[in-house]
Amino acid sequence: MGENDIGTKSSEKIDPLTDISKRLLPETLWSVYEANVQSYRSSSLSSQSIMLAVGAMLIDKPLPIFIGIAIIALIQIWPIWFLLINARIKIADFYKFDMEGKTYDGNRISLKKYITDKNLRKYFGIKTYRVTRFKLDILLPILITIVWLILIAYRVFFDC
């Protein structure tokens, strides 16, 4: 079998993440994933701003409609916003860490090991949530959730 344009045999399965990480410098990968984090954060915040505006406009409409919007908004915050950004942060941090060329037990550390092994990150003193990230990626979703809970409580208990 011949080789394709990325240097693997055409019969081999290609893992896009692994393949691209072999061809690009860690600095490039770090900047791409860091930009992804910023983009996802911006999209999530914009989405929540719209959802809060819609929720405020629907506060005096039938309860099922308001609660439906609130549920969609809360799902956007926790399973989507929080988990997605958390995963992207770890990937961006891995490539920042990889730029330093550190090894563990004499071996270069894989992305999978870096993400799944908390002890490894602790060993190297890596904190996923530094002050700014804590404010933007943990505190902000919590505050938006509190606003939603206040709106829900107001709607349910004061029966607009």
Instruction: Count other C-beta atoms under 10 Å from residue 105's C-beta.
Output: 6
Give the E-state strand segments of the chain in sequence order: 103-104, 107-108
Among 99, 93, 82, residue whose Cα is nearest residue 125: 93
Query: Would you say residue 136 has pLDDT above 60?
Result: yes
pLDDT of residue 3: 47
User: What predicted TM-score, i.e. pTM, was given to this entire model?
Assistant: 0.74
Choice among 2-16, 44-58, 62-76 with the minimum mean pLDDT:
2-16
pLDDT tens digits, 107-122: 788 888 888 888 888 8
Q: Which of 64, 32, 18, 49 is nearest to 156 (CA)?
A: 64
pLDDT tens per residue, range 64-79: 999 999 999 999 999 8
pLDDT above 70: residue 18: no
Residue 153 has pLDDT above 60, yes or no: yes
